[in-house]
Amino acid sequence: MTVLGIEGTAWNLSASLVDDDEVLCEASSAYIPASGGIHPREAAQHVANNIAGVIRQVLSSTDPRLIEGVAFSQGPGLGPCLRIVGTAARALSLRLGVPLVGVNHCVAHIEVGRWKTDLVDPIVLYVSGANSQVLSYRQQRYRILGETLDIGIGNCLDKFARSAGLPHPGGPKVERLAQESRNYLPMPYVVKGMDFSFSGIVTAATEALKSASLEEICYSFQETAFSMLVEVSERALSQMDKSDLLLAGGVGANARLQEMLSVMCAQRGARFYAPKSEYLQDNGAMIAHTGLLMLRHGIQTAIACSGANPSFRPDEVEVPWIETH
Ligand code: ATP
Ligand code: FE2
């Protein structure tokens, strides 16, 4: 089966063509704010200006008659971006005369990770800009075991970086600066059962800018926030009695986070997996691949049900394609 997928929830507009085995083609256009963070109106304008181009690029790589479905990111994400992506996907599905399928962006991050690592039933740590969750598959759904009680870890890094005068996206810049220090400053560590909170770290780190070096703040920020994520991931592995951990989402590209998770997994005899960075950050292939799984299992989205869903939760999605036994 060959499916075209369109991702456009926030910063990376991306279209991709996949079949059952591999990514056949991908074309992307990243929105990089001139100053400040992601502005929803500007992000939507970026999608509107570039969506025809990325779709055209992907279509030109194949005979459009071979495309058997059109998948699109239905949510969660920025409403103004989602609406443009949905409109393009509906038009394309009608034009090609093939089924339309609305994909949950969080589930797509997980599915591309499972695809690229050959994992069946891992605990998933999904860490990106707007989302931070620990999930586990059980009875036809990804269940959210724990999540941030306020902002996602990526937004938290980006927000702090902005107040330190660093350009968006802040996550990779904080990672580089953190490598220059080993001096730990205490930061708020908030874990409640399987849930966690990051807003206190942003406040403390911003306050520390008055008296400490940027390098030591970045180091302390990462060590504290990532330790919280390692703690809940370990608790999830233990409570669900699973032995694989999969990392998903853009913040997963961070080498220090990967190192801390792999040490924890090695200590308890579990296995740690992360796909390549191109499949951690937002990408069209994850939407196309998840759309393919859905279509293969008879799930389609009627035009009347294809509206944007900015607060779409991963546990709302039926997942009939995992066989755990
Ligand atoms: P979602 O809707 O899943 O929240 P998103 O729009 O945030 O998606 P992603 O590409 O999944 O997009 O994640 C982007 C985030 O990842 C940004 O906050 C960025 O700063 C962060 N990030 C990227 N690389 C790194 C890194 N090396 N270290 C830390 N954070 C990173
Ligand atoms: Fe994402």
| pTM, full prediction | 0.98
Label the pairing between strands 141-147 and 132-138: antiparallel
The mean per-residue pLDDT over the stretch 90-119 comes to 98
For domain 3-109+279-316, which CATH number applies: 3.30.420.40, 3.40.50.300, 1.10.357.10, 3.20.20.140? Answer: 3.30.420.40
Q: Is 258 exposed, middle or buried (0-12, 13-18, 19+ CB in 10 A)?
A: middle
- Residue 325 above 80 pLDDT? no
- The class of domain 119-275 in CATH terms is alpha beta
Label the pairing between strands 12-18 and 23-30: antiparallel
> Comparing 3-109+279-316 with 119-275, is the CATH topology the same?
yes
How do residues 178-217 score in pLDDT, each as one tens digit?
A: 999 999 999 999 999 999 999 999 999 999 999 999 999 9
Cβ–ligand 1 contact at 170 (below 6 Å): yes
Q: Specify the residue with its C-alpha closest to ligand 1, atom 6.
A: 10
Q: Which residue has the tokens 């996550």?
A: 171
Residues forming beta bridges with residue 16, ordered by sequence position: 5, 26
Which of 12, 175, 251 maximizes ligand 1 atoms within 8 Å of its Cβ, making it the mutation to test the pocket?
251
How do residues 259-291 score in pLDDT, each as one tens digit?
A: 999 999 999 999 999 999 999 999 999 999 999
Q: How far is the CA of 209 from the centre of ligand 2 (A)?
A: 29
SS3 111: helix
Q: Specify the residue with its C-alpha closest to ligand 1, atom 4.
A: 130
Q: Specify the residue with its C-alpha closest to ligand 1, atom 7.
A: 129
Q: How far is the CA of 211 from the centre of ligand 1 (A)?
A: 28
Max Cα–Cα distance, the chain, nearest Å: 62
Cβ–ligand 1 contact at 253 (below 6 Å): yes
The mean per-residue pLDDT over the stretch 86-114 comes to 98
Domain residue limits, the chain: 3-109+279-316, 119-275
SS3 155: helix
E strand or H helix that includes residue 147: strand 141-147
How many whole angstroms separate alpha carbon 298 and alpha carbon 100?
11
pLDDT band at 1 (very low <50, low <70, confident <90, very high): very high
Residue pair 217/205 in contact (Cβ under 8 Å)? The answer is yes
Dihedral-angle region of residue 275 (phi above 0 means left; psi in -120 to 50 means alpha; beta otherwise):
beta
Angle at 299 between CA 109 and CA 129, to 5 degrees: 20
